[in-house]
């Protein structure tokens, strides 16, 4: 009997955790993070060697996807699940983002800054790897 009760409790705990992750994914999507990253990609593409655009795009998209996943995890860990759910509901009704604060703003900001720095360095490496000779020469000038 104890095993059955424990199993049921674990099932519901997993479901609640999964639901919060889905809510965090929706919240990040509503924030427009993916669109912002796509905008950055469009600004970078003219500097990429035309023969290497497909390779660049594949790597860029993988880095962007990982960033969104990591950012979503940070939101999931650092924001109140009820506030996220309420913000998503308001966005669905009005298309207006609700500003909510993380549980520990200073810690969250530190984690976000570290994540952004890491992704920024990776993106810079991609640009250096795939940039055209002309773009590299212009950057040096």
Instruction: Give the tens place of pLDDT for each residue, 102-132.
Output: 999 999 999 999 999 999 999 999 999 998 8
Task: Say if pTM beats, i.e. exceeds, 0.75.
Answer: yes
Q: What percent of the chain has pLDDT over 70?
A: 84
Q: For residue 69, what are its two tokens? A: 């996943």
60, 123 contact by CB (below 8 A): yes
pLDDT tens-digit profile of 42-98?
Answer: 999 999 999 999 999 999 999 999 999 999 999 999 999 999 999 999 999 999 999
Residue 11 predicted with pLDDT over 70: no
Residue 101 predicted with pLDDT over 50: yes
Question: Of 4 and 22, which is predicted with more confidence?
Answer: 22
Residue 133 predicted with pLDDT over 90: no
pLDDT value for 100: 93
pLDDT value for 136: 73
Give dist(CA 31, CA 115) in Å, integer.
Answer: 17
The mean pLDDT of the chain is 85
Residue 4 predicted with pLDDT over 50: no
Give dist(CA 44, CA 135) in Å, integer.
Answer: 10
Give dist(CA 65, CA 71) in Å, integer.
Answer: 10
Per DSSP, the residues of the chain read -HHHHHHHHHHHHHHHHHHHHHHHHHHHHHHTHHHHHHHHHHHHGGGB-GGGHHHHHHHHHHHHHHHHHHHHHHHHHHS-HHHHHHHHHHHHHHS-PPP---SSHHHHHHHHHHHHHHHHHHHHHHHHHHB-HHHHHHHH-
Measuring CA to CA, which residue among 119, 4, 2 is closest to residue 61? 119
């Amino acid at each position: 009997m104890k095993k059955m009760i424990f199993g049921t409790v674990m099932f519901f705990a997993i479901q609640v955790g999964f639901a919060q992750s889905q809510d965090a994914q929706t919240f990040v999507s509503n924030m427009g993070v993916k669109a912002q990253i796509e905008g950055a990609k469009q600004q970078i593409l003219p500097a990429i060697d035309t023969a290497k655009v497909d390779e660049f795009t594949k790597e860029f998209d993988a880095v962007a996807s990982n960033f969104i996943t990591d950012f979503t995890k940070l939101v999931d860990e650092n924001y109140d699940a009820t506030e996220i759910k309420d913000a998503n509901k308001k966005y669905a009704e009005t298309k207006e983002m609700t500003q909510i604060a993380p549980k520990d703003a200073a810690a969250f900001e530190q984690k976000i800054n570290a994540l952004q720095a890491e992704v920024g360095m990776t993106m810079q490496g991609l640009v250096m790897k795939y940039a055209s000779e002309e773009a590299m020469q212009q950057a040096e000038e």
